[in-house]
Amino acid sequence: MHQEHTAMKVCTDACLFGAWIAADPQIHAAQKILDIGSGTGLLSLMFAQKTAAIITAIEIEDGAYKQTKANFEASPWKDRLAVAHTPIQDYAVQYKQLLYDCIITNPPFYEGDLQSPDNAKNMASHSIALPWEDLAKSASTLLQDHGSWYVLVPTLRAYTMQKLAAQYGMQLIEEVLMYNDAKHLPIRAMLKFVKQPVSAPILRNKIIIKNADQSYTSEFTDYLKDYYLHF
Protein backbone atom coordinates (compact mmCIF):
# COMPACT_ATOMS: atom_id res chain seq x y z
CA MET A 1 0.00 0.00 0.00
CA HIS A 2 1.65 3.23 -1.16
CA GLN A 3 0.91 6.32 0.93
CA GLU A 4 3.64 8.86 0.20
CA HIS A 5 1.25 11.40 -1.36
CA THR A 6 -1.44 11.37 1.33
CA ALA A 7 -1.56 13.59 4.42
CA MET A 8 -3.19 10.90 6.55
CA LYS A 9 -1.31 7.60 6.52
CA VAL A 10 -2.61 4.07 6.99
CA CYS A 11 -3.30 3.49 10.69
CA THR A 12 -4.35 0.60 12.89
CA ASP A 13 -7.86 1.87 13.61
CA ALA A 14 -8.64 2.25 9.89
CA CYS A 15 -7.33 -1.26 9.18
CA LEU A 16 -9.47 -2.73 11.96
CA PHE A 17 -12.47 -0.73 10.76
CA GLY A 18 -12.06 -2.14 7.25
CA ALA A 19 -11.60 -5.71 8.47
CA TRP A 20 -14.67 -5.44 10.72
CA ILE A 21 -16.80 -4.24 7.81
CA ALA A 22 -15.35 -6.85 5.44
CA ALA A 23 -16.50 -9.59 7.84
CA ASP A 24 -20.13 -8.41 7.62
CA PRO A 25 -22.34 -10.68 5.44
CA GLN A 26 -24.12 -7.59 4.10
CA ILE A 27 -20.88 -6.40 2.51
CA HIS A 28 -20.37 -9.81 0.90
CA ALA A 29 -23.80 -9.55 -0.70
CA ALA A 30 -23.29 -5.97 -1.92
CA GLN A 31 -23.15 -5.26 -5.63
CA LYS A 32 -22.24 -1.57 -5.34
CA ILE A 33 -20.10 -0.01 -2.58
CA LEU A 34 -19.20 3.66 -2.08
CA ASP A 35 -16.12 4.73 -0.10
CA ILE A 36 -16.38 8.40 0.96
CA GLY A 37 -12.97 9.97 1.63
CA SER A 38 -10.75 7.18 0.33
CA GLY A 39 -7.33 8.53 1.37
CA THR A 40 -4.92 5.83 0.18
CA GLY A 41 -7.76 3.63 -1.07
CA LEU A 42 -7.13 1.18 1.78
CA LEU A 43 -10.77 0.41 2.64
CA SER A 44 -11.86 0.01 -0.98
CA LEU A 45 -9.00 -2.41 -1.60
CA MET A 46 -9.90 -4.45 1.49
CA PHE A 47 -13.48 -4.80 0.25
CA ALA A 48 -12.33 -5.60 -3.29
CA GLN A 49 -10.31 -8.45 -1.79
CA LYS A 50 -13.34 -9.89 0.00
CA THR A 51 -16.30 -9.14 -2.32
CA ALA A 52 -17.32 -9.16 -5.97
CA ALA A 53 -18.78 -5.64 -5.73
CA ILE A 54 -18.17 -2.67 -7.98
CA ILE A 55 -16.52 -0.10 -5.69
CA THR A 56 -16.44 3.67 -6.18
CA ALA A 57 -14.20 5.88 -4.05
CA ILE A 58 -14.65 9.63 -3.51
CA GLU A 59 -11.69 11.84 -2.60
CA ILE A 60 -11.53 15.65 -2.55
CA GLU A 61 -7.83 16.19 -1.70
CA ASP A 62 -5.62 16.10 -4.79
CA GLY A 63 -2.70 14.10 -3.38
CA ALA A 64 -4.96 11.51 -1.81
CA TYR A 65 -6.99 11.21 -5.03
CA LYS A 66 -3.82 10.49 -7.01
CA GLN A 67 -2.67 8.01 -4.36
CA THR A 68 -6.00 6.16 -4.42
CA LYS A 69 -5.92 6.05 -8.23
CA ALA A 70 -2.36 4.69 -8.29
CA ASN A 71 -3.09 2.03 -5.65
CA PHE A 72 -6.23 0.97 -7.52
CA GLU A 73 -4.37 0.67 -10.82
CA ALA A 74 -1.65 -1.44 -9.19
CA SER A 75 -4.15 -3.88 -7.65
CA PRO A 76 -5.48 -7.16 -9.08
CA TRP A 77 -9.03 -5.80 -8.70
CA LYS A 78 -8.60 -2.62 -10.75
CA ASP A 79 -11.45 -3.53 -13.11
CA ARG A 80 -13.92 -3.21 -10.19
CA LEU A 81 -12.44 -0.04 -8.70
CA ALA A 82 -12.94 3.62 -9.63
CA VAL A 83 -12.19 6.92 -7.90
CA ALA A 84 -13.82 10.34 -8.39
CA HIS A 85 -12.04 13.60 -7.54
CA THR A 86 -15.00 15.60 -6.22
CA PRO A 87 -16.71 16.72 -3.00
CA ILE A 88 -19.27 14.17 -1.84
CA GLN A 89 -21.85 16.99 -1.61
CA ASP A 90 -21.56 17.56 -5.39
CA TYR A 91 -21.43 13.84 -6.15
CA ALA A 92 -24.65 13.24 -4.19
CA VAL A 93 -26.47 15.89 -6.21
CA GLN A 94 -25.10 14.80 -9.58
CA TYR A 95 -25.43 11.04 -9.09
CA LYS A 96 -28.36 10.71 -6.70
CA GLN A 97 -29.84 8.06 -9.00
CA LEU A 98 -26.83 5.79 -8.34
CA LEU A 99 -28.00 4.09 -5.17
CA TYR A 100 -25.45 1.99 -3.30
CA ASP A 101 -25.92 -1.16 -1.22
CA CYS A 102 -23.25 -0.09 1.28
CA ILE A 103 -21.42 3.14 2.01
CA ILE A 104 -18.23 3.37 4.06
CA THR A 105 -16.79 6.50 5.66
CA ASN A 106 -13.73 7.20 7.78
CA PRO A 107 -14.61 10.91 8.07
CA PRO A 108 -12.74 14.01 9.25
CA PHE A 109 -12.96 13.87 13.05
CA TYR A 110 -12.29 17.36 14.34
CA GLU A 111 -14.37 20.56 14.36
CA GLY A 112 -13.07 23.26 16.72
CA ASP A 113 -9.66 21.77 17.38
CA LEU A 114 -6.28 23.37 16.71
CA GLN A 115 -5.39 22.99 13.05
CA SER A 116 -2.13 21.94 11.43
CA PRO A 117 -0.03 24.14 9.11
CA ASP A 118 -0.54 21.35 6.55
CA ASN A 119 -3.69 22.17 4.55
CA ALA A 120 -3.99 18.63 3.18
CA LYS A 121 -3.87 17.20 6.70
CA ASN A 122 -6.52 19.71 7.84
CA MET A 123 -8.79 18.62 5.01
CA ALA A 124 -8.36 14.97 5.98
CA SER A 125 -8.71 15.50 9.75
CA HIS A 126 -11.05 18.47 10.25
CA SER A 127 -14.70 18.66 9.21
CA ILE A 128 -14.29 21.96 7.36
CA ALA A 129 -14.80 20.83 3.76
CA LEU A 130 -17.13 18.04 4.93
CA PRO A 131 -19.35 18.93 7.91
CA TRP A 132 -20.89 15.85 9.44
CA GLU A 133 -24.42 16.98 8.60
CA ASP A 134 -23.46 17.23 4.91
CA LEU A 135 -21.91 13.78 5.19
CA ALA A 136 -25.04 12.22 6.72
CA LYS A 137 -27.28 13.93 4.16
CA SER A 138 -25.11 12.76 1.25
CA ALA A 139 -24.92 9.20 2.57
CA SER A 140 -28.70 9.05 2.94
CA THR A 141 -29.20 10.40 -0.58
CA LEU A 142 -26.92 7.78 -2.12
CA LEU A 143 -27.93 4.78 0.02
CA GLN A 144 -30.68 2.48 -1.13
CA ASP A 145 -33.48 1.48 1.25
CA HIS A 146 -32.25 -1.09 3.78
CA GLY A 147 -28.68 -0.38 2.69
CA SER A 148 -25.92 0.00 5.30
CA TRP A 149 -23.68 2.96 6.15
CA TYR A 150 -20.51 2.20 8.15
CA VAL A 151 -18.74 5.05 9.96
CA LEU A 152 -15.62 5.31 12.15
CA VAL A 153 -15.71 8.12 14.74
CA PRO A 154 -14.06 9.09 18.03
CA THR A 155 -15.95 7.40 20.85
CA LEU A 156 -17.08 10.67 22.44
CA ARG A 157 -18.70 11.78 19.17
CA ALA A 158 -20.57 8.57 18.41
CA TYR A 159 -23.87 9.86 19.79
CA THR A 160 -23.57 13.02 17.67
CA MET A 161 -23.24 10.91 14.53
CA GLN A 162 -26.12 8.69 15.65
CA LYS A 163 -28.44 11.70 16.00
CA LEU A 164 -27.41 13.16 12.63
CA ALA A 165 -27.91 9.84 10.88
CA ALA A 166 -31.36 9.47 12.43
CA GLN A 167 -32.34 12.87 11.05
CA TYR A 168 -31.76 11.48 7.56
CA GLY A 169 -33.54 8.16 8.06
CA MET A 170 -30.59 5.97 9.00
CA GLN A 171 -30.88 3.96 12.21
CA LEU A 172 -27.97 2.71 14.28
CA ILE A 173 -28.08 -1.09 14.51
CA GLU A 174 -24.52 -1.91 15.62
CA GLU A 175 -21.81 -0.17 17.65
CA VAL A 176 -18.40 -1.68 18.35
CA LEU A 177 -16.04 0.21 20.65
CA MET A 178 -12.34 -0.04 19.81
CA TYR A 179 -9.80 -0.18 22.67
CA ASN A 180 -6.01 0.05 22.38
CA ASP A 181 -5.84 -2.13 25.50
CA ALA A 182 -8.07 -3.17 28.39
CA LYS A 183 -6.68 -0.56 30.79
CA HIS A 184 -7.72 2.52 28.83
CA LEU A 185 -10.92 4.07 27.56
CA PRO A 186 -12.08 3.23 24.02
CA ILE A 187 -10.50 5.32 21.25
CA ARG A 188 -12.99 4.81 18.41
CA ALA A 189 -16.54 3.71 17.75
CA MET A 190 -17.34 1.66 14.66
CA LEU A 191 -20.96 2.30 13.73
CA LYS A 192 -23.33 0.53 11.35
CA PHE A 193 -26.48 2.35 10.27
CA VAL A 194 -29.30 0.98 8.14
CA LYS A 195 -31.60 3.13 6.02
CA GLN A 196 -34.97 2.07 7.36
CA PRO A 197 -37.96 3.85 8.95
CA VAL A 198 -38.26 1.74 12.11
CA SER A 199 -35.70 1.58 14.91
CA ALA A 200 -34.12 -1.81 15.56
CA PRO A 201 -32.31 -3.13 18.66
CA ILE A 202 -28.70 -1.93 18.77
CA LEU A 203 -26.05 -4.63 18.98
CA ARG A 204 -23.17 -3.37 21.16
CA ASN A 205 -19.73 -4.96 21.42
CA LYS A 206 -16.04 -4.13 21.82
CA ILE A 207 -12.68 -5.07 20.32
CA ILE A 208 -9.36 -4.79 22.19
CA ILE A 209 -6.28 -4.37 19.98
CA LYS A 210 -3.41 -5.26 22.36
CA ASN A 211 -2.79 -7.49 25.33
CA ALA A 212 -1.07 -6.28 28.52
CA ASP A 213 2.34 -7.23 27.03
CA GLN A 214 1.55 -5.11 23.92
CA SER A 215 1.16 -8.14 21.67
CA TYR A 216 -1.90 -8.19 19.46
CA THR A 217 -4.99 -9.94 20.82
CA SER A 218 -6.23 -13.07 19.08
CA GLU A 219 -9.44 -11.23 18.13
CA PHE A 220 -7.44 -8.48 16.41
CA THR A 221 -5.23 -10.94 14.54
CA ASP A 222 -8.27 -12.94 13.44
CA TYR A 223 -9.71 -9.81 11.85
CA LEU A 224 -6.47 -8.67 10.19
CA LYS A 225 -4.72 -11.93 9.26
CA ASP A 226 -5.89 -11.73 5.64
CA TYR A 227 -4.47 -8.21 5.26
CA TYR A 228 -1.31 -7.96 7.39
CA LEU A 229 1.66 -9.70 5.80
CA HIS A 230 3.47 -10.33 9.10
CA PHE A 231 0.63 -12.30 10.72
Listed by start position, the domains of the chain span 12-224
Q: Is the pLDDT of residue 113 over 60?
A: no
Secondary structure letter of residue 80 according to DSSP:
G
> Which pLDDT band, with edges at 50, 70 and 90, does 170 fall under?
very high
Q: Is the pLDDT of residue 85 over 90?
A: yes
pLDDT of residue 120: 45
Q: Which of 35-44, 144-153, 221-230 has the lowest mean pLDDT?
A: 221-230
For the chain, first and last CA: distance in Å?
A: 16
Integer-rounded Cα radius of gyration of the chain: 17
Q: Is the pLDDT of residue 125 over 90?
A: no
Cβ-Cβ contacts under 8 Å for 126 (sequence gap 6 or more)? 108, 109, 110, 111, 113, 115
Superfamily for the 12-224 domain: Vaccinia Virus protein VP39 (3.40.50.150)
**Which regions of the chain does DSSP assign to beta strands (E)?**
32-36, 54-58, 81-84, 100-105, 143-154, 170-179, 188-195, 203-208
pLDDT, mean of residues 73-102 = 96
pLDDT, mean of residues 106-134 = 58
Buried b (16+ CB within 10 A) or exposed e, 142-153: bbeeebbbbbbb
